[in-house]
A and B are shown apart, each in its own frame.
Chain A
Amino acid sequence: MKISRNIATTIVCIILGIMVAWQYKSINYNQVMASSQNKRSEQLMRELIELQKINMNYKARLDELIEENRKYEDARAGSDEIAKQLKEELEKARIFAGLTDVKGRGVIVTLDKNEYVNVEDTDILSVINELRAAGAQAISVNEERVVATTEVREASGYIMINGVKMEAPFVIKAISDPDKLERALKMIGGVVENLENYIKVDVKKSDNIIIPKVRDDGTVIKTDLLSPATK
């Protein structure tokens, strides 16, 4: 009688123990699962919002284009509209290609050597790239317009940009939203903070920056090897 009772107690206690352990594990597991799924759904949400923004943008552009094309169709005979449009398109392409002097608001970044270290080509490249990433629409280094084919070449003691020899200080101008450009450059752990460790860096916002067009003497822009390709 006593033995059987003891056995019963033991069994009950074992079951109780197992249950407590199991419950603990199951609750733990549920929490981990739930938090990972929460993260995933948050991530998906962000992705979706981004996609929707892109699509809205595309849709607006498409509507514009369709409207434009309709105008062309209507104006086929009276071609003033198209002539005007063509001129506009041409001007846009010229601005985009860097074939016009432009002005606007932006930042002026000055890189200068100190007693020990000279400014390197990679320093200039990283500032230019950061400006581009922040949406810069026109960039020049010491009055040389930066275009698609612009190289930054380091040769003993000086730097060549668009085939022009130059030395420090390097004045890099960029046109776009000045606050955005400055913020990107001065970000914690960003380009300016990095460069300041070994050269002199100055960032100034300006409301009136003029950036010259690309030199037009045939040395910067070469297209002799390019022929049109059709898709």
Chain B
Amino acid sequence: MKQVFAGDNYILFVAIEVIMDKMEKKFIFFIIFMVLGILLAVQFRSTLYANRQRSALELNIERLEARINEAKTIEAELKAQLEENTLKKENYLKAFIEDKDDDKLRREWEAVRLIAGLTDVKGPGIVIKLDDAPARLDGVDPSQLIIHEQDIRIILNDLKKAGAQAISINGERIVAISEQVCAGPTILVNRNRYPVPYIINAIGDPDLLYESLSRSERIALMIEDRIRVEIKKSKEVIVPGFSHSDNLDDFISHLEVVNYENK
């Protein structure tokens, strides 16, 4: 009786175990598939969301690029119109001077504008072309391979020492207040930015200018650092007038003329 009972119990126990075992396996599968499903759903949503977000960003970038292009076209248009109107104004003033037949006034007008660097000029001189070193060199600090603002400043100073009468960098006339600031592979001159290569035009005695540069320590160093330096003498170099000549007010706004006669 006891045995039977025990046997019954045993059978029951085994039966329960079998059922549990099956349930457990099913249960495990159930959990695995549930996780799988959730993951799938999450992944799907996340991908969808990222795609939507990315395309919104892309759209935004495209729109910005379009607006920048538009602004650039407007800028070019405005620049052209400004130039045209500046010329017109100069012609009015010139015509007025001619009409007045005032030789002294005319000469003063021309001389002052020439000295101020407001007019395009030409004359004998040299052309210098500077470009960064052609490639990286192993074991060489890359900052040695590019042109720095000190280089430009010292070259300009060398040219002035040799008596240069008019200088431009990439078409920007160097006037009394012209800054030269380098940022990365570009240079800021007269508030305008230019990439390499830098082309410096200088009017003066070509031989003197050339000699001054060929004796320049800085240029020797630059050539040693494999920066590309090209110097050419020329019978006629053109140096344009100051690019903001129509807007001088901006450059003299803090200046008050001292008039000793009134004192």
Binding site for B on A (CB under 8 A): 5, 9, 12-13, 15-16, 19-20, 22-23, 26-27, 30, 33-34, 37-38, 40-41, 44-45, 47-48, 51-52, 54-55, 58-59, 61-62, 65-66, 68-69, 72-73, 79, 82-83, 85-86, 89-106, 121-122, 125-126, 129, 132-133, 136-139, 145-153, 175-177, 210, 221-231
Contact = CB atoms under 8 A, between A and B. Distances in A.
A225 B82 contact: no
B247 A61 contact: yes
A52 B35 CA distance: 53
A102 B46 CA distance: 67
Interface of B is mostly: helix
Contacts of A145: 176
Contacts of A59: 78
Interface of B: 25, 29, 32-33, 35-36, 39-40, 42-43, 46-47, 50, 53-54, 57-58, 60-61, 64-65, 67-68, 71-72, 74-75, 78-79, 81-82, 85-86, 88-89, 92-93, 96-97, 99-100, 105, 108-109, 111-125, 149-150, 153-154, 157, 160-161, 163-167, 173-181, 188, 203-205, 238-240, 246-249, 251-258, 260
A26 B247 CA distance: 54
A69 B179 CA distance: 31
Given A23-B39, A73-B92, 8 more contacts: A37-B54, A51-B72, A54-B75, A95-B255, A97-B115, A151-B160, A152-B157, A225-B204
A33 to B, nearest CB: 6
Given A23-B46, A126-B150, A65 B118 contact: no
B39 A137 contact: no
Contacts, number: 254
A2 to B, nearest CB: 10
A101 B78 contact: no
Contact of B32 (A16, A69, A176): A16
A231 B120 contact: yes
A228 B121 contact: yes
A-B pairs, top 3 by smallest CB distance, nearest first, are A97-B116, A151-B160, A132-B179
B39 to A, nearest CB: 6
Contacts of A44: 61, 64-65, 68
Residue among B43, B79, B122, B255 with most chain A CB within 10 A: B255
Nearest to B67: A48
A9 to B, nearest CB: 8
Given A27-B46, A68-B89, A227 B123 contact: yes
Residue among A51, A90, A93 with most chain B CB within 10 A: A93
